[in-house]
């Protein structure tokens, strides 16, 4: 069943084409079956005035070919239940309004007997409850009474191979169209109901991807949006809990200083606690502002950017060196990249004594590596350390750290469609690799000038 489903068209356009094609094939099949079932052994005469007109024309030509002395007897011999011929005497007639059939008979006879066109008369009549067509040829005093053989049953039988396929096509196309509309509308209706409740509940289960390919893409995008909203809400909760937890210690200490007084309540001691709280709040605000950055992308020379950053640390006495290649072009947000590498260098100096920065091009990518000589990060904690407000050592909150360094780097890499990986350095330390695309994210620009 699943294999058969994969063979069916996945796009809305393909499904509509398939519906029309199936309808046409089914209609043609019905036509062929009806023609084989209803086809008579001998083709019948067409329904309408044409057979009667043909018989009238044959009779007129025959009467005119017979001598005058024998015409009356011949006319009586030609008369049947539906045709009556007589000479020099008109049939009783109560004229009725001319209908389409009478007009057709008159038009055919005028065409086939142009010599009688001016004097010929064709009248629809009624006599003794019978409706017939009275044909008068004054030139030869020929009077003909024709009872119409129009039969609705015969008309239905003749047109059945046409009307039934047409109605079948109409019904099948309508039914398949309704099914197609339902199949498209059903997942959209579910999506609309889910969108109405998204603002109140971001933890509900994701929608099942169903329907045509276009609808599945919309549902997939909606599920991604719901995941992002859920992660943003969880991150906001985690941020508030972390800030509240980390601020509790200096606030408690500050409150005790005020209560106890003495040397513990000195301005310098209280200023240290306030400075620590300010650093924590500034770090949280910097992280939130970084998530809303709208810095434009531009082509930069990555080697020069990183070298200047390392020189700024070296100027303050830090052991930071750049050992990478120059002329490594990259399409990026230079301020964001500088901020990410700056965080990695600060983390390396915080846990180790020296930091080495390297960079080089690799195919369509630009690679940055920051290596330190610290204790590194255990394998089982590396993914967790990329989350905001996560620290290996909770005691380090005393230095104003909120555990945002690596999460800021992760956020910058996500905006660049890049990646961050970790590996151990030898003999000790950690190497953080940043992989950046060498072209503009979300564009077709490839290569760099």
Cβ–Cβ under 8 Å, residues 435 and 421: yes
Task: Give the model's pLDDT for residue 444.
Answer: 39
Task: Give the model's pLDDT for residue 445.
Answer: 39
Is 60 exceeded by the pLDDT of residue 2?
no
Is 80 exceeded by the pLDDT of residue 24?
no
Task: Give the model's pLDDT for residue 367.
Answer: 92
| pLDDT single digits (tens) 260-303 | 776 666 777 777 777 777 766 776 676 666 555 567 888 888 88
Query: How far lies 435's CA from each of 18, 78, 432, 449, in Å?
Result: 45, 105, 10, 20
Please state, in angstroms and rounded to a whole number, the distance separating the CA atoms of residues 324 and 326: 7
| pLDDT single digits (tens) 219-252 | 888 888 888 888 777 777 766 666 666 677 677 7
What is the pTM (predicted TM-score) of this model?
0.47
Token pair 């409740």 is found at 197
| pLDDT single digits (tens) 315-357 | 888 899 999 888 888 888 888 888 889 889 988 888 888 999 9
Please state, in angstroms and rounded to a whole number, the distance separating the CA atoms of residues 290 and 284: 10
Query: How far lies 365's CA from each of 295, 335, 448, in Å?
Result: 21, 19, 11
Task: Give the model's pLDDT for residue 426.
Answer: 84
Is 50 exceeded by the pLDDT of residue 437?
yes
Cβ–Cβ under 8 Å, residues 377 and 403: no
Please state, in angstroms and rounded to a whole number, the distance separating the CA atoms of residues 388 and 238: 8
Q: Which residue has the higher pLDDT, 296 or 154?
A: 296
Q: How confident is the model at residue 8 (pLDDT cuts 50, 70, 90)?
A: low
Q: How confident is the model at residue 448 (pLDDT cuts 50, 70, 90)?
A: very low
Please state, in angstroms and rounded to a whole number, the distance separating the CA atoms of residues 114 and 151: 30
Please state, in angstroms and rounded to a whole number, the distance separating the CA atoms of residues 377 and 313: 23
Range in 265-279, 354-368, 420-434 with the lowest mean pLDDT: 265-279
In sequence order, which ranges of 39-96 are alpha helices (DSSP H)? 50-65, 68-78
For the chain, the helix, strand and coil percentages under 3-state DSSP, each to the nearest 5 = 55, 15, 30
Task: Give the model's pLDDT for residue 73.
Answer: 87
Q: From 336, 326, 325, 342, select the one nearest 298 (Cα to Cα).
A: 336
Task: Give the model's pLDDT for residue 47.
Answer: 53
Q: Which long-range contacts (CB under 8 A, 24 or more apart) does 406-411 make?
A: 406/343, 406/347, 407/287, 408/286, 408/287, 408/290, 408/339, 408/340, 408/343, 409/340, 409/343, 409/344, 409/434, 410/386, 411/290, 411/291
Q: In angstroms, what is the C-alpha Rg of the chain?
A: 48
Task: Give the model's pLDDT for residue 376.
Answer: 85
Task: Give the model's pLDDT for residue 237.
Answer: 74
> What are the structural domain ranges in the chain?
2-43+154-193, 75-149, 202-292, 295-449
Interhelix angle 12-38/213-260, rounded to 10 degrees, is 150
| Range picked from 141-155, 157-171, 197-211 for highest mean pLDDT | 197-211
Task: Give the model's pLDDT for residue 449.
Answer: 38
Token pair 């434009």 is found at 296
What backbone phi and psi angles, to 5 degrees, belong to 428? -135, 165
Q: Which CATH number is 295-449 given? A: 3.30.565.10
Task: Give the model's pLDDT for residue 421.
Answer: 92
| pLDDT single digits (tens) 88-106 | 888 888 888 888 888 888 8
């Amino acid at each position: 069943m699943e294999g058969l489903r994969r063979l069916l068209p996945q796009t809305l356009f393909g499904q509509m084409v398939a519906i029309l094609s199936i309808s046409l094939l089914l209609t043609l099949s019905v036509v062929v079956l009806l023609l084989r079932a209803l086809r008579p052994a001998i083709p019948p005469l067409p329904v309408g005035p044409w057979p009667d007109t043909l018989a009238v024309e044959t009779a007129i030509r025959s009467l005119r070919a017979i001598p005058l002395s024998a015409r009356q007897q011949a006319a009586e011999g030609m008369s049947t239940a539906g045709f009556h011929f007589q000479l020099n005497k008109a049939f009783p007639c109560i004229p009725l309004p001319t209908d389409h059939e009478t007009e057709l008979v008159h038009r055919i006879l005028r065409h086939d007997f142009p010599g009688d066109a001016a004097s010929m008369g064709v009248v629809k009549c009624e006599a003794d409850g019978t409706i017939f067509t009275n044909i008068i040829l004054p030139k030869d005093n020929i009077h003909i009474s024709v009872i119409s053989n129009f039969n609705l049953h015969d008309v239905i039988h003749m047109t059945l191979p046409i009307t039934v396929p047409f109605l079948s096509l109409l019904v099948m196309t309508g039914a398949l169209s309704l099914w197609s509309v339902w199949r498209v509308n059903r997942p959209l209706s579910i999506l609309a109901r889910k969108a109405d409740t998204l603002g109140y509940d971001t933890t509900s289960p994701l929608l099942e991807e169903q329907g045509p390919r276009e609808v599945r893409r919309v549902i997939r995008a909606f599920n991604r949006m719901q995941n992002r909203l859920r992660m943003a809400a969880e991150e906001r909760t985690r941020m508030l809990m972390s800030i509240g937890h980390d601020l509790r210690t200096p606030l408690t200490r500050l409150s005790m200083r005020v209560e106890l007084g003495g040397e513990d309540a000195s301005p310098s001691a209280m200023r240290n606690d306030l400075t620590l709280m300010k650093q924590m709040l500034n770090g949280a605000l910097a992280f939130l502002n970084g998530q809303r950055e709208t810095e434009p992308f531009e082509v930069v020379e990555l080697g020069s950017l990183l070298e200047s950053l390392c020189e700024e640390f070296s100027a303050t006495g830090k052991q930071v060196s750049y050992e990478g290649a120059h002329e490594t072009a990259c399409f990026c947000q230079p301020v964001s990249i500088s901020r990410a590498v700056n965080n990695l260098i600060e983390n390396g100096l915080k846990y180790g004594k020296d930091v080495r920065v390297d960079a080089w091009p690799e195919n369509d990518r630009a690679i940055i590596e920051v290596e330190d000589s610290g204790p590194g990060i255990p394998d089982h904690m590396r993914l967790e350390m990329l989350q905001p407000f996560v620290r290996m050592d909770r005691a380090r909150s005393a230095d104003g750290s909120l555990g945002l360094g690596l999460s800021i780097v992760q956020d910058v890499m996500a905006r660049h469609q890049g990646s961050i990986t970790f590996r151990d350095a030898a003999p000790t330390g950690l190497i953080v690799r940043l992989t950046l695309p060498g072209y503009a994210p979300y564009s077709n620009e490839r290569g760099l000038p």
